[in-house]
């Protein structure tokens, strides 16, 4: 099944720390590792490992980091034919501070990622694609992708992150109207809905946003989905978290993999929760599991997908 993922591609530098330094203070780094990142690119890699055939649409600079990032995607089976190369601009870079409990803090340099424009999303680049995923808060890209999806007959999902949630309902509502699946985490849902309670936020957004399915990840509490007038919640699996970076991208890819297989809402949430649970036990944004691993994990707990 061919799909496309649109958004950022970064080179990630991970620093595992025991504490965060205060002003003019120094903190020891316990471990350092590097790897590919960017939500859309992470989604593409996770999708490839789950048996889909992804192509990535984004932008990088003509620099060594861009070359490394593209090579990593190719090695994972991601089609990078339509990645835009921009001269004179550095590729995206993210420094990730990882606390021993797996919680992360990030410093992001967008760089060449900002060079991806609506005009770059042409129907020709999406021919043969069954589903388009946008991991971006840029409404101009979302609106353009909606046009392209209609033209090529593809379904569409959006994971806009905090950048989209900060824009407010008046801007987000028309941008995501008609989207098949809208992803966000509980903090983004509360921010967008103006509520301190995630359940109240989900219910408000379900009324306000005209999307096929609203899916909200709840961290250690699992995930919830609202669609067809019904709210469904599925608990998370208990695991020892090592690194939560990329867990949301892994969850989204797993959910869409099951969505394209025509599974029911419970199966989609269960499978996505399981994939994310496996991912957080491993370091790096791209440490998502393969389909057989998720099946085996669920089978070990008495679930059959």
User: In CATH, what number is assigned to the domain containing residue 203?
Assistant: 3.40.1190.20
Q: What is the CA radius of gyration of the chain?
A: 18
Q: In this predicted structure, what is the pLDDT of residue 102?
A: 65
Q: In this predicted structure, what is the pLDDT of residue 103?
A: 73
Q: In this predicted structure, what is the pLDDT of residue 196?
A: 87
Is residue 117 assigned to a domain?
A: yes
Domain enclosing residue 83, as ranges: 2-300
Is residue 130 assigned to a domain?
A: yes
The catalytic residue among 159, 197, 249, 264 is 249
Instruction: Give pLDDT tens digits along the chain (305 positions).
Output: 899 999 999 999 989 898 888 899 998 999 998 888 999 999 999 999 999 999 999 999 999 999 999 999 999 999 999 999 999 999 999 998 888 776 778 899 999 999 999 999 999 999 999 999 999 999 999 999 999 999 999 999 999 999 999 999 999 999 999 999 999 999 999 999 999 887 888 889 999 999 999 999 998 899 999 988 889 999 999 999 888 889 999 999 999 999 999 999 999 999 999 999 999 999 888 999 999 999 999 999 999 87
Is residue 119 assigned to a domain?
A: yes
Is residue 85 assigned to a domain?
A: yes
Is residue 222 assigned to a domain?
A: yes
Q: In this predicted structure, what is the pLDDT of residue 101?
A: 72
Is residue 258 assigned to a domain?
A: yes
Number of structural domains (the chain) is 1
Pairing of strands 10-17, 29-37: antiparallel
Q: In this predicted structure, what is the pLDDT of residue 214?
A: 97
Q: Would you tell me how many other CB atoms lie within 10 Å of the CB of residue 186?
A: 19
Nearest to 10 by CA among 278, 273, 249: 249
- Would residue 243 show up in a list of annotated catalytic residues for this protein? no
For the record, the structure tokens of 218 come out as 């709840």
* Full-model pTM: 0.93
Nearest to 247 by CA among 190, 215, 288: 288
For the record, the structure tokens of 188 come out as 């983004």
Is residue 305 assigned to a domain?
A: no
Is residue 46 assigned to a domain?
A: yes
Q: In this predicted structure, what is the pLDDT of residue 228?
A: 85
């Amino acid at each position: 099944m061919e799909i496309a993922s649109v958004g950022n591609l970064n080179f990630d530098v991970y620093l595992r720390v025991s504490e965060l330094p205060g002003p003019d203070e120094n903190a020891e780094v316990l471990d350092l590792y590097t790897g590919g990142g960017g939500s859309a690119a992470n989604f593409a890699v996770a999708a490839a490992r789950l048996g889909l055939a992804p192509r990535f649409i984004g932008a990088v600079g003509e620099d060594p980091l861009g070359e490394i990032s593209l090579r990593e995607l190719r090695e994972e089976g991601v089609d990078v034919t339509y990645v835009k190369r921009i001269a004179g601009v550095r590729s995206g870079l993210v420094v990730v501070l990882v606390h021993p409990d797996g919680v992360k803090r990030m410093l992001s340099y967008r760089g060449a990622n900002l060079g991806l424009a609506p005009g770059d999303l042409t129907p020709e680049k999406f021919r043969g694609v069954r589903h388009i995923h946008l991991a971006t808060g840029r409404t101009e890209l979302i609106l353009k992708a909606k046009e392209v999806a209609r033209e090529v007959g593809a379904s569409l999902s959006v994971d806009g992150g905090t950048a989209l949630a900060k824009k407010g309902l008046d801007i987000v509502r028309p941008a995501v109207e008609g989207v098949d699946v809208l992803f966000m985490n509980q903090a983004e849902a509360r921010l967008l809905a103006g509520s301190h309670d995630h359940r109240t936020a989900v219910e408000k957004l379900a009324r306000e946003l005209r999307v096929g399915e609203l899916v909200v990840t709840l961290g250690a509490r699992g995930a919830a989905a609202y669609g067809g007038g019904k709210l469904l919640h599925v608990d998370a699996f208990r695991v020892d978290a090592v690194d939560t970076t990329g867990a949301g991208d892994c969850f989204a890819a797993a959910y869409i993999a099951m969505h394209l297989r025509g599974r029911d809402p419970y199966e989609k949430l269960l499978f996505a929760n399981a994939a994310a649970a496996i991912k957080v036990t491993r370091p790096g944004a791209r440490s998502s599991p393969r389909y057989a691993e998720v099946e085996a994990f669920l089978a070990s707990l008495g679930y059959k997908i």
